[in-house]
Chains A and B, each alone.
Chain A
Amino acid sequence: GENVEQHPSTLSVQEGDSAVIKCTYSDSASNYFPWYKQELGKRPQLIIDIRSNVGEKKDQRIAVTLNKTAKHFSLHITETQPEDSAVYFCAARDPRAGGTSYGKLTFGQGTILTVHP
């Protein structure tokens, strides 16, 4: 099955700096890569995603890049703010899993991002 590795496990930055979180996946058939943000005590929420036919996607201060050849994808947050502090999870979807077109997600271990004012 799919295996997703996420690094670093913790990341501390100063407000205004950039933050980068990286994930690698094992199954070349995976075709969808979402990123979820989970604030303390809250539920995970989707912040950005990318499909395998796209190399980069941006949404205001966040962006995701995908390298299919190397099987890795990254989350970039620019001009970080204290409210960006949270746990971030990457995931990969294998469309064959589950026997349907929407498959199952395999999540990374999470990155605790702390943005210091």
Chain B
Amino acid sequence: IAGITQAPTSQILAAGRRMTLRCTQDMRHNAMYWYRQDLGLGLRLIHYSNTAGTTGKGEVPDGYSVSRANTDDFPLTLASAVPSQTSVYFCASSHRDSNEQFFGPGTRLTVL
């Protein structure tokens, strides 16, 4: 692994189903973030984690949960997907000594 990766690349999901989006980074970054990107709304923060074992709510956390069991992984779970969660999801990470956030390649999620 080099950098930050996400899986799956894309997914079509029936409403009401549970889904976990995976994010892994090998840069030993302290902080990790989940954003959703919708046309005309830019990138909106869903949840974040400043360090392993801690998480926090972003701008649009409802319907999503996260965990940070270790430094490298930051999964995002939709417990019961709804059509309004159709979006492109980006994971990002940053080091405590740097302001720059590095983004993963994104997951395109469609909820029908």
Taking the nearest CB of chain A, how far is it from the CB of B85, in angstroms?
19
B side interface size, CB within 8 A = 24
**Per-residue 0/1 for B90-107: is the Cβ within 8 Å of any A Cβ (1 yes, 0 no)?**
100010100111011110
The 4 closest A-B pairs by CB, nearest first: A43-B103, A107-B42, A107-B43, A109-B42
Q: Could you list which residues of chain B lie within 8 angstroms of chain A, going by C-beta atoms? A: 31, 33, 35, 40-45, 48, 50, 56, 58-59, 90, 94, 96, 99-101, 103-106
Residue of B nearest to A43 (CB): B103
With a CB–CB cut-off of 8 A, which chain A residues contact B106?
Answer: 43
B100 contacts which chain A residues (CB < 8 A)? 34, 46, 49
Complex formed: what's the CA distance from A46 to B31 in Å?
17
Q: Is the beta-carbon distance between B50 and A98 smaller than 8 angstroms? A: yes
A98 B48 Cβ-Cβ under 8 A:
yes
Whether A102 contacts B94 by the Cβ 8 Å rule is yes
Do A93 and B56 contact each other (CB < 8 Å), given the known contacts A98-B50, A107-B43?
no
Taking CB atoms, residues of chain A closer than 8 Å to B35 are: 107
Chain A's nearest CB lies how many Å from the CB of B38?
A: 10
Q: Which residues of B contact A107 (CB under 8 A)?
A: 35, 42-44
Query: Could you write out 25 A-B pairs with CB less than 8 Å apart?
Result: A6-B42, A9-B40, A34-B99, A34-B100, A34-B101, A42-B105, A43-B90, A43-B103, A43-B106, A44-B43, A44-B103, A46-B100, A49-B100, A89-B42, A93-B99, A99-B50, A100-B31, A102-B94, A102-B99, A104-B33, A105-B45, A107-B42, A107-B43, A109-B41, A110-B40
